[in-house]
Structure 1
Amino acid sequence: MTQSLNLASLPRLSSEVATPRYARDELRAGILHIGVGNFHRAHQAVYLDDLFNAGKDRDWALIGAGIRAGDRAMRQALEPQDWLTTVVELDPGANIARVTGAMVGFVPVNEDGRAIVAALDDPALRIVSLTVTEGGYCIDPATGAFNPNHPDIVHDAAHMDAPKGVFGVLLAALRRRRDQGLAPFTVMSCDNIPHNGQVAQDAVAGLADLVDPALAAYVREQVAFPSSMVDRITPATTDRERAILKERFGVQDNWPVFCEPFRQWVLEDNFPTGRPALEEVGVTFTPHVAAFELMKLRILNGGHATIAYPAGLLGIHFVHDAMADPLVRGFLDKLETDEIIPCVPPVPGVDLQDYYGLIARRFANPDVGDTIPRLAQDGSNRQPKFILPSTRDRLKMGSDVTGLALESALWCRYCAGTTDSGEPFTLDDPNAGRLTTAALAAKDDPTSFLDLRDIFGDVADAPQFRSRFEASLNNLWRDGVRATLQRYLNGGA
């Protein structure tokens, strides 16, 4: 018998579904999280659920928040199920379902962030965590620096009473807490950005520079922005996942989360007003977050980008199917081994080649059902963070960039909007229009794509990269993806 998920139905769920070992009224909110998506509910919320199940730190429950239409949809989905989420870990042959109860509320999602600002008047909320995507930090993609001319920043600098961007919301809330004599909350970024704590500080303080220099000084001197590295492959939820949950476990969940068994969280221990004891449930606290972060961004996220575009051009839908394709898998193995891993600095206690082996096994997990379209989306924000830094490092070292230039050429070819067989598809990117225009122009003049200087920056000026990119793109248009990949694997350009 199928049970609709809510607090009342928990005792009636199948014994195969683990449920919280604590009552909701035992929890008190200590964290407000902005950007309640699948990743957050498969990651931070699961770690907290583990902690609460162990009888620890039940004053660190979550309140959800958001400012986008997607946040409103998530709130509408979770409210009738009392903010509970079913998480299914997709270990081949042994899928495991659990209900997490770490979230105890969700701030109403309005046209601006005033409701979030008001909620943060509560001194019990000592941490604000963020998963607002790589593109949500108002930075210049080519330089990685804060962009004071970003539309969200310009708007919020002039409308601090009704901010619409996440950093305007944070700054308005911090200003109110300062003015009321309350301790500032800690801002904890959980997004895949190098030095994400510093990037978050730059965004909040950079906005404050436009509003009030004294407030900017307060942010820089009094507010903590710990860096973190987070990792768990979490595909988008579709009717396929809802049906599997209903048929296999008898649970009707409006928005369940399916994810791989692996998870990792590495944090800088910089929480002046306190934090939950997450080290007791597997979180690593270390001053070396940047090393773990760089390793993950280059090897895992860079690996995702490496397989996304050839697989997409070949019409492959699932990531595990891409990993089963000898040419796509061969491209990934060779690029990681020859060009990406050699420019990743050492990480304490980690063998980088073993780490890559783990990543490859995770990508190949057939039960996860992760998709190539998910990996291929938002390339204009992801390429400058996951691929081009490796290219830039190798150019500075005087090392070859044949494979990295081919990856960039594959992205360019993908941005043209058709597969190798000529089937059109929709490019999922906030800059889709100008990317497609540039990619189509590059069919005749390959280096014209490199004129997207806000993306490529100084990499576009390197003669070696330009020539490798031009040769690869010409090969892709003339000979197709498979022949081009085979030429690369055979040692050709």
Structure 2
Amino acid sequence: MEAGLPADTPRLARTTPAPRIGIVHLGPGAFFRAFNAIWTEEAMAAQGGDWGICAVSLKSPTARDQMAPQDGCFTAVELGPAGETRKVIGAVAEVLVAPEDPALVVSRMADPGVRIVSLTVTEKGYCHEPSTGHLRLDHPDIAHDLSNPDRPRSALGFIVAALRARRAAGTGPFTVLSCDNLPSNGAVVRGVVLEFARALDATLADWIAGTVTFPATMVDRITPATTEADLQRLAQAEGYRDPAMVVHEPFRQWVIEDDFTAGRPAWDAVGAQMVSTVEAHELMKLRCLNGTHSTLAYLGYLGGYETIADTVADPAYAALCERLWADEIVPTLPQPEGEDLQAYTAALMARYRNPAIRHRTWQIAMDGSQKLPQRLLGTIRDNLAAGRVPHGLCLAVAAWMRYVGGVDEQGGAIDVRDPLAADLKAASDSAQTAEAKVAALLAKHEVFDAGLAEDARFREAVIAAYTALLNNGARAAVAARTA
């Protein structure tokens, strides 16, 4: 029983028949429930089809313990500026825990009725080396699965075991659909699946390469952690308890390469974008969303704002964001298929302004040394190559430098969470002037490549921005940039 709920509060119960299973999904966490399951529920409602989901947890029984007593149903609560909207989702027909019965999971995936195996297992779940994309054959789960192919532990082990069973039975392949937030996710999962299969059986690997499709996807929806207060509000409003409930923002975007070997739900009928390639969409999201998110995080935190919504409530910060999109980010982007970039950035600002989504600036500021090269520095390089100095993005880099120095504008300590936190603080502390601090941090080649670090235009713009932050503070620096 959840804390604070009356003992007689009933559990959510299914009121409609469970759909027949056509998808096995690995990784039934909150994002899957707030994203994949909702899209699939709506697609079945729009155009039918047997696309019920067997959700498989690869590690923890938590999702099964939450959802199985409710026959797979759960409540999705949309957090909009005007309040909450609640909907019961019934697309999940079954929930399994892989370590309890690996053979059962392989059997489900090998069933001819299953036409898609999808994944939200986080980047770690692919057991690869991100810098090369290659499978880590020394990963403990991979080593186990190669020695015990009928009792897999990893997502890759289960996928290959099921494909091996389907090939032997002559039932044909399924589509493997990665929905994790990593670039070129389709190519990544295809590469590691083929490496794993080849380590087992070269002829199996060849069959997979020739028959299985691995569409890339881009996914986007903010899904905050469900709190005890959320559970209690739901119980009070609806009269039932639901430990599997999820909360999410109104916005959602799913861009999918339309390359399915055995059919798919009508996701496009309910708003998904089916395209030939997602690369331009990935770059759009990385630069427009992630780039401005990081900018607002560092400048907002230094300015004393706790959340992104608080930050863009300041007109100067909102204006900076708009100017970044118009002048420094969108001009570097190829046109994504079927996308209106102006409408996309307008939707981003609406998301940022949503006070119901409490995205903390401190949280987004984490791991900046890992994020800056992808989120900001590539855009800066493209601007410089085009003969433009992107002063707004240089201000964002300077704000990151000020932040990792570990002292805020009031002289208080900043809790910097970053793999390089100690090195970055030591570099900042080793210098006294703004110019020297910037030089010391630009010398961190784990973050800045030599070509960018040595570009005089970039260096001078960052020094000027860092000086403005030191002398006038973040709010004044932002206001000056948008005056």
Taking structure 2 as the reference length, what is the TM-score of the superposition?
Answer: 0.82
Q: Residues 232 and 262 of structure 1 are in contact (CA less than 8 Å); yes or no, is this contact kept in structure 2? A: yes
Which runs of 5 or more structure 2 residues have no equivalent in the other structure? 1-5, 431-436
Give 1:184's aligned amino acid.
P
Q: How far does residue 101 in structure 1 lie from its aligned partner after superposition? A: 0.9
Instruction: Please show how residues 77-226 of structure 1 align to structure 2 within 5 Å.
Output: 77-93=66-82, 95-110=84-99, 116-117=105-106, 119-133=108-122, 137=126, 145-149=132-136, 152=139, 156-157=142-143, 159-160=145-146, 161=148, 164-208=153-197, 213-226=202-215
Instruction: Return the match for 1:326 from 312, 315, 318.
Output: 315
Q: Distance in 2 between matches of 1:112 and 1:423?
A: 52
Q: How far does residue 373 in structure 1 lie from its aligned partner after superposition? A: 4.8
Q: Residues 157 and 211 of structure 1 are in contact (CA less than 8 Å); yes or no, is this contact kept in structure 2? A: no
Q: Do structure 1's residue 442 and structure 2's residue 436 form an aligned pair?
A: no
Inter-CA distance 109–351: structure 2 relative to 1 (3 Å threshold): same
Q: How far does residue 51 in structure 1 lie from its aligned partner after superposition? A: 3.0
Q: Residues 246 and 252 of structure 1 are in contact (CA less than 8 Å); yes or no, is this contact kept in structure 2? A: yes
Inter-CA distance 172–474: structure 2 relative to 1 (3 Å threshold): farther
Q: How far does residue 346 in structure 1 lie from its aligned partner after superposition? A: 1.8
Inter-CA distance 244–171: structure 2 relative to 1 (3 Å threshold): same
Inter-CA distance 303–248: structure 2 relative to 1 (3 Å threshold): farther
Q: Distance in 2 between matches of 1:417 and 1:63?
A: 46
Q: Do structure 1's residue 53 and structure 2's residue 80 form an aligned pair?
A: no
Instruction: Return the match for 1:278 from 248, 267, 290.
Output: 267
Corresponding residue for 2:474? 481
CA offset digits 1:441-482 (Å, max 9, x no partner) = 231354555566555556655524455445545655665433
Give 2:345's aligned amino acid.
Y
Q: How far does residue 326 in structure 1 lie from its aligned partner after superposition? A: 3.3
Instruction: Return the match for 1:34 from 26, 45, 51.
Output: 26
Larger-gyration structure (1/2): 2
CA offset digits 1:3-39 (Å, max 9, x no partner) = 544326x5xxxxxxxxxxx422xx1111122222322
Q: What SS does the aligned partner of 2:247 have?
A: strand
Instruction: Please show how residues 261-340 of structure 1 align to structure 2 within 5 Å.
Output: 261-340=250-329
Q: What SS does the aligned partner of 1:339 have?
A: helix
Corresponding residue for 1:65? 56
Q: Distance in 2 between matches of 1:133 and 1:49?
A: 23
Q: How far does residue 100 in structure 1 lie from its aligned partner after superposition? A: 0.3
Q: Distance in 2 between matches of 1:118 and 1:380?
A: 43
Q: Residues 119 and 177 of structure 2 are in contact (CA less than 8 Å); yes or no, is this contact kept in structure 1? A: yes
Inter-CA distance 119–383: structure 2 relative to 1 (3 Å threshold): farther
Inter-CA distance 5–328: structure 2 relative to 1 (3 Å threshold): farther
Q: What SS does the aligned partner of 2:80 have?
A: coil
Q: What SS does the aligned partner of 2:22 have?
A: strand
Q: What SS does the aligned partner of 2:181 have?
A: coil
Q: Distance in 2 between matches of 1:458 and 1:193?
A: 25
Q: What SS does the aligned partner of 1:230 have?
A: strand
Inter-CA distance 155–79: structure 2 relative to 1 (3 Å threshold): closer
Instruction: Please show how residues 358-437 of structure 1 align to structure 2 within 5 Å.
Output: 358-377=347-366, 379=368, 382-415=371-404, 419-421=408-410, 423-424=412-413, 432=418, 434-437=419-422
Corresponding residue for 2:3? none
Give 1:439's aligned amino acid.
L
Q: Residues 112 and 164 of structure 1 are in contact (CA less than 8 Å); yes or no, is this contact kept in structure 2? A: no
Q: Identity of counterpart residues, as a percentage? A: 36
Give 2:142's aligned amino acid.
D
Q: What SS does the aligned partner of 1:96 have?
A: strand
Q: Residues 194 and 209 of structure 2 are in contact (CA less than 8 Å); yes or no, is this contact kept in structure 1? A: yes
Give me the CA root mean square deviation: 3.5
Which runs of 5 or more structure 1 residues have no equivalent in the other structure? 11-21
Q: Distance in 2 between matches of 1:425 and 1:118?
A: 51
Give 1:28's aligned amino acid.
R
Inter-CA distance 221–401: structure 2 relative to 1 (3 Å threshold): farther
Q: Distance in 1 between matches of 2:480 and 2:143?
A: 52
Q: How far does residue 98 in structure 1 lie from its aligned partner after superposition? A: 0.7
Q: How far does residue 364 in structure 1 lie from its aligned partner after superposition? A: 0.5
Corresponding residue for 1:18? none
Inter-CA distance 109–210: structure 2 relative to 1 (3 Å threshold): closer
Inter-CA distance 228–149: structure 2 relative to 1 (3 Å threshold): closer
Q: Distance in 1 between matches of 2:270 and 2:396?
A: 38
Q: Say which is worse superposed, 76-85 or 374-383, in terms of deviation.
A: 374-383
What is the number of residues matched between the two proteins? 466
Q: Distance in 1 between matches of 2:441 and 2:24?
A: 41
Q: What SS does the aligned partner of 1:261 have?
A: coil
Q: Residues 32 and 125 of structure 1 are in contact (CA less than 8 Å); yes or no, is this contact kept in structure 2? A: yes
CA offset digits 1:111-136 (Å, max 9, x no partner) = 99776445423332221112233565
Q: Distance in 2 between matches of 1:209 and 1:473?
A: 52
Q: Residues 295 and 396 of structure 2 are in contact (CA less than 8 Å); yes or no, is this contact kept in structure 1? A: yes
Inter-CA distance 137–251: structure 2 relative to 1 (3 Å threshold): same
Q: Say which is worse superposed, 353-362 or 277-286, in terms of deviation.
A: 277-286
Inter-CA distance 159–94: structure 2 relative to 1 (3 Å threshold): closer
Q: What SS does the aligned partner of 1:41 have?
A: helix
Q: What SS does the aligned partner of 1:258 have?
A: strand
Q: Residues 235 and 371 of structure 1 are in contact (CA less than 8 Å); yes or no, is this contact kept in structure 2? A: no
Q: Distance in 2 between matches of 1:378 and 1:131?
A: 21
Q: Do structure 1's residue 237 and structure 2's residue 223 form an aligned pair?
A: no
